[in-house]
Structure 1
Amino acid sequence: MAHLTRRGVVTTALATAAAGVLVPARTAAAAPARPSGPRPLARAHAHNDYLHPRPLHDALAHGFTSVEADVFLVDGELLVAHEAESLDPSRTLVSLYLDPLLARVRAHHGTVHAGYPEPLQLLIDIKTDGAATYRALDRVLRRYHHILSRSVHGRVRSGAVTPVVSGDRAARAPMEAQNTRYAFYDGRPEDLGTAAPASFIPLISGNWATSFGWRGTGPFPTAERDRLRTLVAAAHASGQRVRFWGTPDLAGPERDAVWTELVAADVDHLNTDDLAGLETFLRRRAPDSRRNS
């Protein structure tokens, strides 16, 4: 199963051939930094990360390995905000994410989390015209190319940070037209089984409420559990990871019940606004040698 971003690209030979993924060994300029801080959590995704008091830094302090930023293209700048009414020219993708990530990668000799070689996923949710915003994003990402994962003619090299583009679907066309990309595309369940390989769509994201009625109260209906596991198995067979948004996120037994089923089904990213809550949930579980929680 091919996995790009937080775990790098981990493949069987069959999935690698099918996805067109090539993973050369990481070259380090210096000895890796020793692990420090909390053990990274491979499943932890910070939804709307920029709403926390310290965007990016709070998530990393809780061990998160995936963060999400909404972006608006305004006068050529990529501004980070939840809604257009709250835009602030000082809060850019560069200032909140790319520059701090560059500093961390330099400090940790090639990784975001010290001593943890897997890439950080930076999910960039486009809120303005997808094609125009992606072109502006591509120009910015190329300035940080030495820390980013890339795809060159369908062959992927894993870097310290893997940008994945979500949001407005018009971004897809200009991305597919590129021979060299420093970002990847966030697919939807309907993209499963299509010709698009994991080297272009490494992530499948879906709205939990669209496919599942269960919200954590009572037992998980058997038909829904089977549907979840079938979807995850299909994605993994194609070398793609899975994330759901819209899962219950208020602390309580219902949220824990849904998270437990997601982990049991091997869903790759658990989506939350509650950094401490998800960290506590994952660290209380028995360590998973393959997933590192």
Structure 2
Amino acid sequence: MRPLLFTLLAVAAVTASACSAPPEVCVEGSSRTPTPLAPDPKAGLFAFTHAHNDYEHERPLEDALAQKFHSVEADVYYAGGLFEVSHLGFGARGTLKSLYLDPLQAKVDERGSVLGDGAPFTLWVDLKDAHDDLGDALAHLLDQYPMLTVFDADGTVTPGPVTVVLTGDRKMKEAFVREHTPRRAIRDSNDFSPDDPPATSAWGFYALDWGRYLSWGGSGSVPAETSERLACIANKAHQSGYRVRLYNTPDTEAVWQASLDHGIDFLNSDRLAELKAFLESR
């Protein structure tokens, strides 16, 4: 019954999303012309690779690094003082510390950067639940890792080889950046508006649900409306100092190319080897 229940809930969520009007992203004065991503001088187009739900791969983190990915995502539940990595809150394969923070710090200590190319790496921590002591526990954990970018309340940012971005539970991530400074994490928002204020040392990323903002299924040519909406989101975000990730994306070459062409900063994928081959062919 459990798989059937999850399937029904997923279908209901998709149906509800499809029936609601998408948020307004293009307003008068919006730049609707796509601005392609320029290859990073150190990592090329691989600087934009992102492993969605990385922990579900056979070798968490290691499989992504083997394919030259520069960003990974880990869902975490707080339990007994530990941040357990799991999608549904049970069957954890390890902790944030054991699966990600310790291995990443070891690689930085050995190579100077995670992949040895000098390019920055992003670790997205998806907070799946809320607890009163979660923020203090997370701050204490992250403070043990000198590789992490440090953010101060006065806007000062001390870049490190790895940047932690908090996503997921809105109240928890907002409370964390409000209550802890200096801190070794920044937050995202799952909502975009053309009226959003400029990015700060507390909030510097967007993680947006593809199905909420776009209707294209990811095959064939990019529809004009999709192109315009992607351009409006990316151009405004970059103008304001944000970086953009889309999730629940169709995992297709057409979407990967559209993301590159429209300036979406993270190529969200579960198909690690296929995305690597795609980028190597560019």
TM-score, normalised to structure 1's length?
Answer: 0.77
* Residue 185 to residue 192, structure 1, CA distance change in 2 (3 Å): farther
- Which residues of 2 match residues 83-102 of structure 1 at below 5 A? 83-87=88-92, 91-102=94-105
Contact 1:71 1:78 in 2 (8 A): yes
Q: Does 1:138 align with 2:103?
A: no
Q: CA RMSD in A?
A: 1.9
Q: Hey, what does 2:37 align to over in structure 1? A: none
**Cα offsets for 1:175-194 (capped at 9, x unmatched):** 12333110010123436543
- Which residues of 2 match residues 85-164 of structure 1 at below 5 A? 85-87=90-92, 91-108=94-111, 110-114=112-116, 116-129=117-130, 132-144=133-145, 146-152=146-152, 153-164=154-165
> In the aligned structure 1, how far is the partner of 2:53 from the partner of 2:76?
11
Q: Which amino acid aligns with 1:202?
A: G
> In the aligned structure 2, how far is the partner of 1:64 from the partner of 1:40?
10
Q: Hey, what does 1:176 align to over in structure 2? A: 178
> In the aligned structure 2, how far is the partner of 1:40 from the partner of 1:212?
24
Q: Give the fraction of aligned pairs with identical amino acids, expressed as a percent.
A: 38
How many residues get paired? Answer: 239
**Cα offsets for 1:170-226 (capped at 9, x unmatched):** 121231233311001012343654336242222111011111111123432212211
> In the aligned structure 2, how far is the partner of 1:196 from the partner of 1:230?
15
Structure 1 unmatched runs, 5+: 1-34, 250-254, 286-293
SS in 2 for 1:106: helix
Q: Hey, what does 2:167 align to over in structure 1? A: 166
* Residue 124 to residue 130, structure 1, CA distance change in 2 (3 Å): farther
User: 1:130: how far off?
Assistant: 6.2
Contact 2:155 2:200 in 1 (8 A): no
User: 1:117: how far off?
Assistant: 1.9
User: 1:69: how far off?
Assistant: 0.5
Structure 2 unmatched runs, 5+: 1-41
> In the aligned structure 2, how far is the partner of 1:189 from the partner of 1:130?
23
- Which residues of 2 match residues 179-218 of structure 1 at below 5 A? 179-190=181-192, 193-195=195-197, 197-218=199-220
Contact 2:47 2:69 in 1 (8 A): yes
Q: Which amino acid aligns with 2:107?
A: R
TM-score, normalised to structure 2's length?
Answer: 0.79
> In the aligned structure 2, how far is the partner of 1:86 from the partner of 1:181?
30
User: 1:131: how far off?
Assistant: 5.5
User: 1:59: how far off?
Assistant: 0.5
